[in-house]
Structure 1
């Protein structure tokens, strides 16, 4: 057994997020387990850029209400207790719904070679985010 103490929370880089988003690392696996887990907190209206993960990503909402969207225009409204599974290389975005905070556990696998499993893309346009809030 190994006890890992809480790591410092950091503000996420503005280059990959719209609005204020904070991340607390929970676990970074090595060797047999390459799992990475972080608690990510979004302020109302905050969201990620479009991005994809080489081996997929699982999001488990811990509080609030959020949105997760894909390139085909699908958007799901998520609430505390919901889990969303994004398959490998699916371009998507996620964040808080307008007017509410949202937090989720972001779980993914790091690459065997130690490279970054996330490819960051362009920001989600405000109009598309606003439309997602109305339609989901």
Structure 2
């Protein structure tokens, strides 16, 4: 999927608005459509090509990603990046430093499921450098 019109046509859930509330934690443009905030937060997050979020840690609850469109990456600190495609599921345990985002040439979309836990929080860290990102295939 190389352009916005193509991914919007194929999306199961609406793309949402520009993710301005979290723009300081992304390199590039992302979009967010919160599907529900009751009991379990689930957001449809869409990334333009080359867009990725900063390294971050989910304290207590963790997160689950359900890939719904395009091609992207998930990487845990100290490990190789994992390429993601529609249908992939990523279970992110609490306290694991990681990032996720689009490939250089594709839009990318996933449902982000916040695993509920007492005292859960999200800690945003440094951006994924262009040098590190550009090493991905």
Contact 1:10 1:24 in 2 (8 A): no
The separation in 1 between residues aligned to 2:111 and 2:88, in whole angstroms, is 11
Contact 1:53 1:119 in 2 (8 A): yes
- Work out which of the two has the higher radius of gyration on C-alpha atoms and give 1 or 2: 1
The separation in 2 between residues aligned to 1:112 and 1:73, in whole angstroms, is 29
* Superposition deviation, residue 74 in structure 1: 2.1
Task: Choose which of 31, 34, 48 in structure 2 pairs with 1:25.
Answer: 34
Task: Choose which of 71, 79, 82 in structure 2 pairs with 1:73.
Answer: 79
The total of aligned residue pairs comes to 122
* Superposition deviation, residue 57 in structure 1: 0.6
Q: Which residue of 2 aligns with 1:3?
A: none
- For normalisation by structure 2, the TM-score amounts to 0.82
The separation in 2 between residues aligned to 1:122 and 1:90, in whole angstroms, is 14
User: More deviation in 41-50 or 12-21?
Assistant: 12-21
Q: Does 1:43 align with 2:51?
A: no
Give unpaired runs (5+ residues) of structure 2: 1-13
SS in 1 for 2:134: helix
Contact 2:50 2:104 in 1 (8 A): yes
Task: Choose which of 14, 19, 34 in structure 1 pairs with 2:23.
Answer: 14
Contact 1:110 1:117 in 2 (8 A): no
Give unpaired runs (5+ residues) of structure 1: 1-5
Q: CA RMSD in A?
A: 1.9
Q: Which has the higher helix share?
A: 2
Task: Choose which of 123, 128, 132 in structure 2 pairs with 1:124.
Answer: 128
The separation in 2 between residues aligned to 1:42 and 1:10, in whole angstroms, is 10
Contact 2:64 2:115 in 1 (8 A): no
Q: Which residue of 2 aligns with 1:61?
A: 67
